[in-house]
Amino acid sequence: MKNKFLLLTFSIFLYLFIFICIYLIHINFFKVGVIFYSSLIDSVIALIIFFGLYNSINFFKHITNFESSLIILLLFFIGYSFSISLPTVIDRSLSFYFLEKIRQHDGAINKTAMKQMFIDDYMDEYKLVEMRLTEQLKSGTIELKGNCIVLTKRGYLVTTFSDFFRKNFLANKRLILDSYSDQLTDPLKDSKINNEYLCKKE
């Protein structure tokens, strides 16, 4: 039992070493479209390399096929978790931006300036519109038709799921500053159609 625990620990560290090496090579020497997808691909490549080493090292022959499958599954979820939790979150997180912006201003900002900071700085500095468009185009949820951004069938499926999840599986009493609210379970409930947003079909 002790040997199998050591084997599992060794497997995790070996996989992470391979994954991080591939990830660093990818982001430094190759073009990257969407950071999450590229990191996920890196995790799968690392898993394939690990599996090749796994089959060639005699040290692994003392565990069963079921245990081998569990190790591979565990490593896949570790790679997936890393891809979401580090590069993806840091790349797009409003919370990280907020903290970094405070640090940039000697560790303190005026509370009344926050909204304007997000409007004036965040949109431009993080290339927010361009990056979200790129991600959704790569994901196949939207397509560009002239000046129109059109939701695809996949986009409708994704938004149907997200709307259902938001209304049924997000907290109904969520703290927003100093009060609890269910506003974020249906944030578009009181939103009006803005005719300026509508696509003018040519």
pLDDT digits (tens, 9 = 90+) for 104-145: 998 999 988 888 888 889 888 888 889 889 999 999 999 998
Contacts of 80 (CB under 8 A, 6+ apart): 40, 43
Amino acid, res. 104: Q
Q: 182, 173 in Cβ contact below 8 A?
A: yes
Tens digit of pLDDT for each residue in 64-99?
Answer: 778 888 888 999 999 999 998 889 888 888 888 899
Contact (Cβ atoms closer than 8 angstroms) between residue 32 and residue 24: no
Using DSSP, state whether 149 is helix, strand or coil: strand
**Neighbouring C-beta atoms of residue 117, cutoff 10 Å:** 16
What angle, rounded to 10 degrees, do the helices at 2-29 and 65-83 form? 40
Question: Given pLDDT bands bounded at 50, 70 and 90, which one contains residue 58?
Answer: low
Specify the pTM: 0.75
Rounded-to-integer distance, Cα 185 and Cα 202, Å: 36
